[in-house]
Each structure stands twice: as structure tokens, then as C-alpha cells.
Amino acid sequence: MDHSIDVIELEMAILVRRLVSMTTYRKIGNLDRSAYLLLHQIASHGSAGVKALSDEFHLDISTVSRQAAALEQKGYVKRIPDPVDGRAYSLEMTDMGEEVLNENKQARQESIGKMLSTWSDGERVIFGELLRKFNAAIHEEIPE
């Protein structure tokens, strides 16, 4: 077995454990990961239906529907009815949702910035590129 794969496998397990601990105990911002990702997706790509969001994140429609309902209850998104299908709707970001997303994004970026403060610009760029590439590979491995 390739030693680098051994190192990567262990470091990934440690990374996941530490990220869960960080978000559980230190609470970066006031959005949980699922809310942050849904809001970020809508902010980046515009209004979206629950089906499109569930496809993007490879989650059950019922899961995304529950998460979306929680965001709607907090006033972070609003439903936009589909003019063709009265049962369908898209989720659109509200001003409050945009504000909360930006606050959380800033808090997350500040936290990551502190952790990477001793890294060179080049190291941060390479790490970001490799992390994006790895996330894309994971996305491709998840069955439809």
C-alpha cells in the first residue's frame, strides 16, 4: 500500500473528528453546517428548489425540506411559488438570511485565517486548490 494513502486516510479521519469538535464546542458563528451550506448555495447560484438542493448535496428531499423549513422559520429564506406547478416552490434568500450568512462566513474565514496565519500565501493557495480538487473527487464518488 502506498504510504501517502495511509497518511492521508489517517489525517482525514483526524481532520473530520477535529472539525466536528470545533463546530460542537467552539461554535463558529450561529449557523450549523447544513444551514450554512444551503444558504451559501442559494446565495451563490440564486433561488433553488428543494429537489435541486437535494441533488447538489446528495441528500434526501425530506432532509433538505426539513432544513429549508427551519431556515424559512428563522426568516433566512422565503418560498417563491412556481407559476406552473402550484405545489412546487423555490427558496430565495432574504435580507436577513444574507446578513446571517455574511456574518457566519466572516467568522469562519477569521477562524481559518488564524489557523493558517503562519502559512505562506503559496501554501494557502495550494491547500485551497487541493482541497477543492479532493472535494470534487468525493462529489463524483457519491452515487446519484
Helices of type H across 22-120: 33-45, 50-57, 61-73, 95-115
Of 90, 83, 108, residue with least CA distance to 41:
90
What's the pLDDT tens digit per position in 103-139? 999 988 998 999 999 999 999 999 999 999 998 998 8
* pTM of the predicted protein model: 0.82
**pLDDT-derived band at 72, boundaries 50, 70, 90:** very high
Q: How far apart, in whole angstroms, are the C-alpha atoms of residue 144 and residue 142?
A: 7
Q: Report pLDDT for 144.
A: 66
